[in-house]
């Protein structure tokens, strides 16, 4: 008999619409009353898409220069050798002066001659260098942050397997690197109406034929045999289709590209289940002896 887990860490509450904390690898959790800190800013700037990041840099650059142009304007354009009599033109030149100071280009065609302008521009240059130090850190942080790029097959399949049947799904590394020491642990959660009409939610470990290998250059098909020890053993294939089931997965492997152990969360529910299907062959060999991994085949399933 399958052993019920005491507390799998994802909660017991039975509410048919709200149990899944992971949907397609993304968190389904919202936080309220969470105090924010400056570290959140770093995490935010590290995780936003590149387009956003570069746009922020550009907007920040324009805003800071506009601000300093205004400050310099109030100090007086004549202190920067740019007094043309035309306010807009003066402001524009002071914007350029600010940009030349912030980036430390400092052509010198526009340069501070008075005390106040000298001070403000000295500190603008400091601000500029410190900001670019910060951007350097962010750029490095963005690039070097290890990201697990494990892709899970869209479907779960149930097919005949050895004496009984088996539940299968497939994972692959979207990078060209091998997965070193990949390991997959999963919990299966079955929600059923009990005799009182209340939903009862039970968690079990999902036993796999093999949940850890040495290394893997290609896809990996995970096999849960539906035998006497499986919590799914008592259901017919027909019943499985309508069963309310979630599978929570923690996948870990050593990623060569970053030389780090990476973790990836995923979840399935049984709306993704295909009965009597099998996965297609995911790799072949070419005439030169190379193993060819076709990334498009991850989701290929065939009716048995």
Least distance to a second copy from the beta carbon of 11, Å? Answer: 7
Least distance to a second copy from the beta carbon of 242, Å? Answer: 20
Closest-CA residue to 156 (of 213, 214, 222)? 222
Token match 């995970």: residue? 222
Least distance to a second copy from the beta carbon of 236, Å? Answer: 28
Q: How far apart are the C-alpha atoms of 243 and 267, rounded to whole Å? A: 16
Minimum CB distance to a second copy smaller for 38 or for 303: 38
Minimum CB distance to a second copy smaller for 178 or for 275: 178
- Measure the N-to-C terminal CA separation of the chain; round to a whole number of Å: 29
Residues near 286 by Cβ (< 8 Å), separated by ≥ 6?
292
Minimum CB distance to a second copy smaller for 144 or for 234: 144
Supply the DSSP string of 36-84, one letter for each residue.
P-HHHHHHHHHHS-HHHHHHHHHHHHHHHHHHHHHHHHHH-GGGGT---
Minimum CB distance to a second copy smaller for 1 or for 292: 292
Longest dimension (CA), the chain: 92
4: which DSSP letter? B
Residues near 250 by Cβ (< 8 Å), separated by ≥ 6?
184, 185, 186, 263, 264, 265
Least distance to a second copy from the beta carbon of 142, Å? Answer: 8
Minimum CB distance to a second copy smaller for 137 or for 280: 137
Least distance to a second copy from the beta carbon of 277, Å? Answer: 20
Minimum CB distance to a second copy smaller for 190 or for 262: 262
Least distance to a second copy from the beta carbon of 2, Å? Answer: 17
């Amino acid at each position: 008999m399958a052993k019920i887990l005491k507390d799998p860490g994802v909660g017991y509450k039975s509410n048919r619409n709200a149990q899944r904390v992971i949907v397609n690898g993304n968190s389904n959790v919202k936080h309220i009353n969470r105090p924010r800190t400056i570290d959140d800013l770093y995490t935010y700037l590290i995780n936003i898409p590149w387009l956003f990041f570069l746009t922020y840099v550009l907007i920040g650059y324009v805003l800071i220069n506009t601000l300093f142009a205004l400050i310099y304007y109030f100090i007086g354009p004549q202190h920067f050798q740019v007094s043309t009599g035309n306010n807009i033109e003066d402001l524009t030149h002071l914007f350029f002066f600010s940009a030349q100071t912030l980036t430390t280009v400092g052509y010198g065609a526009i340069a501070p001659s008075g005390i106040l302008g000298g001070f403000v521009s000295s500190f603008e240059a400091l601000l500029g260098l410190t900001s670019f130090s910060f951007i350097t850190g962010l750029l490095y942080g963005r690039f070097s942050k290890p990201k697990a790029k494990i892709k899970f097959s869209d479907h779960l399949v149930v097919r005949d397997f050895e004496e009984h049947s088996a539940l299968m799904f497939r994972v692959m590394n979207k990078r060209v690197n091998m997965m070193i020491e990949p390991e997959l642990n999963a919990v299966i959660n079955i929600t059923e109406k009990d005799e009182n009409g209340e939903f009862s939610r039970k968690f079990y470990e999902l036993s796999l034929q093999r949940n850890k290998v040495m290394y893997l250059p290609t896809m990996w098909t995970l096999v849960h045999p539906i035998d006497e020890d499986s919590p799914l053993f008592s259901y017919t294939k027909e019943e499985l289709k309508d069963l309310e089931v979630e599978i929570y997965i923690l996948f870990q492997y050593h990623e060569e590209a970053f030389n780090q152990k990476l973790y990836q969360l995923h979840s399935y529910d049984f709306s993704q289940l295909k009965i009597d299907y099998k996965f297609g062959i995911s790799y072949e060999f070419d005439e030169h002896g190379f193993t060819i991994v076709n990334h498009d085949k991850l989701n290929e399933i065939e009716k048995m």
